[in-house]
Amino acid sequence: MKSFWNKYKYMIIMLLLSVVLICTNLFAIRQCNSYKDINNNNIVALTDSINYYKTKTGELYVSKTLLTGNLKTLELANDSLYQVIKDMKLKEATTVIHFNNTVDNQPKDTSWNVKDSVGTIITYPRLDKSFAFVDQYRELTGNVYLNDSILGLNIDKDKVFLDYVLAIENGKVFIKSNNPYVKYNEIEGLTIPQPKKKWFTLVVGPSINYGYDFNNNKFGPSLGISVVYGLNLSRIINK
């Protein structure tokens, strides 16, 4: 065994170095491509706007590209949203979504006949009173009028502002709203687990190596097909 090692030790060392270099290069390329995809995705997410779509039945829904990364990525891209998640005491959130919605109710006009206790219609002088209620949660404007025997209510604008954050951590949904009048009656959902990345990956492909030529009893380059079963570095980095 010792004589075999002394005779072929340089060849064995070169073969091992070749395998290590091949594994390192393959996984480095793969990792660079992975980070390139993440960066490209985040560029799209930061420049993407809300897109509206309609189903075949005419129902409207919206979509937007999300950032890819961790809470540090969120802190750099949207510090205000990061602070909300921090206030929610979440440290391992896997999904964070911020919704800023407006419920815009249609204008309304309602009127009644003014009657006394026995049903007789009563007439009054004309009276018209406008009202406006506006804060960070709602905007309500209109007027109330009394014209002879008609009492009317006009609502010109009725908007409700909803601003809330949704986060998912360890299979649980956390929701926080800045509107104290919002109530959440029921939450239902489904978590689809992502396939786990394997610790080791089999790679087959062409390679250029440098090793020992038994036929000519000397070292030299070689071109061939390599089969490499190596450690998946991307799982270690992204863990």
- What is 111-157 written as a DSSP string? EEE-B-TTS-B--EEEEEEEEEEESSSEEEEEEEEEEETEEEEEEEE
**Is 156:144 a contact under the CB 8 Å cutoff?**
no
Mean pLDDT of the chain: 78
- For residues 169 and 91, give the distance between their C-alpha atoms in angstroms, rounded to a whole number: 8
In single-letter form, the type of residue at position 41 comes to N
- Which of 57-61, 126-130, 223-227 shows the lowest per-residue confidence on average (mean pLDDT)? 223-227
DSSP state of 194: P
For the chain, domain boundaries? 15-51+195-239, 104-160
Per-residue pLDDT of 124-168, as tens digits, reads 778 899 999 999 899 999 999 888 788 899 999 999 998 899 999
pLDDT at 59: 87
Question: Is the confidence at residue 236, as pLDDT, over 50?
Answer: no
User: Between 96 and 116, where is the model more confident?
Assistant: 96
Q: Check whether 198 has a pLDDT greater than 80.
A: no
Over residues 67-79, the mean pLDDT reads 88
Q: Which helix (H) or strand (E) holds 230?
A: strand 218-231
